[in-house]
Amino acid sequence: MKEIINELENANVGKVAEKEPLSKHTTWKIGGPADIFIEPDGVDGLVETMKIINQYNIPWRAIGRGSNLLVDDEGVEGAVIKLGQNISDLEIEGETLRVGGGYSFIKLATIISKEGLSGLEFAGGIPGTVGGAVFMNAGAHGSDMSNILIEARVLFPDGRLIWIKKEDMDFSYRTSRLQKEKGICVEAKLQMRKGDKKTIVEEMQKHKSYRRETQPWNHPCAGSVFRNPLPDHAGALIERAGLKGYRVGGAQISEMHANFIVNVKEAKAGDVLAIIKHVQETIRDKYNVEMTTEVELVRRQA
């Protein structure tokens, strides 16, 4: 790994670290070290990073704010690339946004609401980055990224950096093409519409307040753990099964919202995985419903 690190540093791609604890970069505050951790200094640094990684044929993965990840206690093999503040430009042209993949989703929603632009009210309170929101087709309150994306600029492992139209993103519930082809969304164009500033701000604040009142962000967590097995809702099923408060080690199903697992005391990934397995088995036995995780499980073997 030293040879790769030296080459990355010599290429001035950005921040490069060895054995960086990923607990520093996930909202669950859980996760062992990455063999190599890279935070590129802009899109050019990201492209050069991908080129060097491919030369050495090592496994890699991209992260944003780590708000939807459960990282193995043993860490991640290969390279972890973080899209952060250095890939977070924002341009507003009329009703169109052009925004970097590392831009905070919550911050974007707040800024846009104050500009009197509608379309991102649903994002009030959703953690993560714009790139992560495209990757997951993030959504809430009846809307999601597929409703506002015009196109996304995507870096593929072979070095192609291309714009992909919304129609070609294969969006469905919490799913996109990027989950199948392992592309990194480095930039997105979003379609907004003019609206009444006061109404937009009030709507977004309502969503933020709802999240504060119903979701346990007072403890480290990763948002909803399970996808809703429509027409059912994951939280309602888990609560009905009497699992609120169920605890393993330092992890616990929230007493406030049953689809949240919170880190109450130095939880390990193994604690959370044990709870996930228990929930899946219990719901399967009681209701014959399969519970699929919305959070991504990142294991040591990439």
Q: How would residue 203 be classed by pLDDT, with cut points 50, 70 and 90?
A: confident
Q: How would residue 216 be classed by pLDDT, with cut points 50, 70 and 90?
A: confident
Q: How would residue 142 be classed by pLDDT, with cut points 50, 70 and 90?
A: confident
Q: What pLDDT is stored for residue 291 in this prediction?
A: 97
268-286 pLDDT, tens per residue? 999 999 999 999 999 999 9
Taking domain 88-214, whether its CATH number is 3.30.465.10 is answered by: yes
- Does the pLDDT at position 302 exceed 60? no
Instruction: Provide the residue ranges of all domains of the chain, joining segments of one domain with +.
Output: 2-85, 88-214, 234-298
What CATH class has 234-298? alpha beta
d(CA 284, CA 279): 8
- Does the pLDDT at position 177 exceed 90? yes
Taking domain 2-85, whether its CATH number is 3.30.43.10 is answered by: yes
- Residue 4: CB partners within 8 Å, gap ≥ 6? 36, 52, 53, 56, 58, 79
Q: Where are the alpha helices (DSSP H) in the chain?
A: 2-10, 43-56, 105-114, 130-136, 178-181, 197-214, 234-240, 269-287
Per CATH, 88-214 and 234-298 having the same topology is answered no
DSSP SS3 for 180: helix
Record the pTM. 0.90
Q: Is the dihedral of CA 127, 74, 301, 263 positive or negative?
A: negative
- Does the pLDDT at position 110 exceed 80? yes
11-31 pLDDT, tens per residue? 999 999 999 999 999 999 999
- Does the pLDDT at position 3 exceed 70? yes
Q: What pLDDT is stored for residue 207 in this prediction?
A: 78
- Does the pLDDT at position 171 exceed 70? yes
Average pLDDT score, the chain: 93
User: 207 versus 221: which is more confidently predicted?
Assistant: 221
Catalytically active residues are 174, 224, 294
